């Protein structure tokens, strides 16, 4: 099992996700654990999830709705710095140099010791966790963390024009990775995760009382897989140290 830096040595964390609700499904309990430990967490959504709507929805209203849902969900987890990129289309995320630069800009602004990202590696046994946007967001975020954010010669205008000097990220946590090697026990914050996901009503209201049942089953499976005691709920990650 991986040994990440202890939380008491972490002051700031940046989570970078493709869509609203991605962080809450994959790491909602972990985010709540971090904020309750006094860590400042920033969430960056690359899109506003405009393709995540029912066929009869008013598609023009979806971006504002999903942004509002994400802010409410994040508040339930203790995350109050929620940011969205403009100009990145849901369903069209690609790890371009332009996208990497935008993520580097946020990294250098937030100056996180830890970055939470989506895995750039596909899980073929559970492909729904490996949406193409998730893979692209993960790849762009990994590139942004290393080497770009810490390279003073990568986009020097961020320093010269915006006052954002290079920054070294200590570690990356990848969620929905094929081979997770670290588990966070979320049993005691499970209700916060459920509350966060209920705030994404456009995505979860149809699940009704099945939602916490599904989340508990997922947490139970991951907890058992990664060595938690029986009955405990877990979220799993691949921890990548950047020395």
pLDDT digits (tens, 9 = 90+) for 83-126: 999 999 999 999 999 999 999 999 999 999 999 999 999 999 98
Cα 236 to Cα 180: distance, rounded to the nearest angstrom = 6
Helix (H, G, I), strand (E, B) or coil at 14: strand
Cα 53 to Cα 59: distance, rounded to the nearest angstrom = 7
Give the pLDDT score at 182.
Answer: 96
Work out the average pLDDT over 176-192: 97
Give the pLDDT score at 95.
Answer: 98
Q: Do 190 and 219 contact (CB within 8 A), yes or no?
A: yes
Rg of the chain in Å (alpha carbons):
17
| CA–CA–CA angle 95, 31, 149 (5° rounding) | 35
- The CATH superfamily label for domain 7-241 reads LmbE-like (3.40.50.10320)
Q: 241 φ, ψ to 5°? A: -75, 145
Helix (H, G, I), strand (E, B) or coil at 90: coil
Cα 112 to Cα 42: distance, rounded to the nearest angstrom = 9
Q: Could you state, in order of their start, the residue ranges of all structural domains in the chain?
A: 7-241
Residues β-bridged to residue 183: 236
Tell me the two tokens of residue 65: 């709705």
pLDDT digits (tens, 9 = 90+) for 12-66: 999 999 999 999 999 999 999 999 999 999 999 999 999 887 777 788 899 999 9
Average pLDDT in the chain: 96
Give the pLDDT score at 1.
Answer: 65
> Which secondary structure element, helix H or strand E, spans residue 106, and what is its range?
helix 97-110
Cis, peptide link before residue 147, omega less than 30° from 0: yes
Q: Do 115 and 16 contact (CB within 8 A), yes or no?
A: yes
Cα 111 to Cα 148: distance, rounded to the nearest angstrom = 13
> Which secondary structure element, helix H or strand E, spans residue 12, and what is its range?
strand 12-17
DSSP 5: P
- Where residue 235 falls among pLDDT bands split at 50, 70, 90? very high
Residues β-bridged to residue 82: 43
This model's pTM is above 0.95: yes
């Amino acid at each position: 099992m991986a040994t990440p830096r202890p939380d008491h040595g972490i002051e700031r964390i940046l989570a970078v996700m493709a869509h609203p609700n991605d962080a809450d499904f994959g790491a909602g309990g972990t985010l709540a654990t971090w904020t309750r430990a006094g860590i400042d967490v920033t969430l960056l959504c690359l899109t506003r999830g405009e393709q995540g709507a029912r066929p009869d929805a008013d598609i023009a209203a979806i971006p504002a709705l999903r942004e509002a849902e994400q802010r409410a969900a994040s508040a339930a987890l203790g995350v109050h710095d929620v940011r969205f990129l403009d100009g990145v289309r849901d369903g069209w995320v690609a790890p371009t140099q332009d996208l990497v630069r935008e993520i580097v800009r946020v990294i250098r602004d937030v100056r996180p010791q830890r970055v939470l990202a989506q895995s750039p590696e596909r899980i073929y046994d559970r492909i729904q966790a490996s949406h193409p946007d998730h893979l692209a967001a993960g790849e762009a975020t990994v590139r942004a963390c290393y080497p770009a954010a810490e390279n003073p010669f990568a986009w020097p205008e961020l320093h010269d024009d915006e006052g954002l000097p290079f920054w070294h990220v200590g570690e990356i946590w990848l969620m929905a990775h094929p081979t997770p090697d670290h588990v966070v026990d979320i049993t005691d914050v499970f209700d916060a995760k459920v509350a966060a996901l209920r705030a994404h009503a456009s995505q979860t209201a149809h699940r009704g009382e099945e939602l916490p049942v599904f989340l508990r089953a997922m947490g139970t499976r991951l907890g058992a897989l990664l060595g938690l005691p029986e009955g405990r709920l877990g979220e799993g990650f691949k921890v990548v140290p950047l020395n």
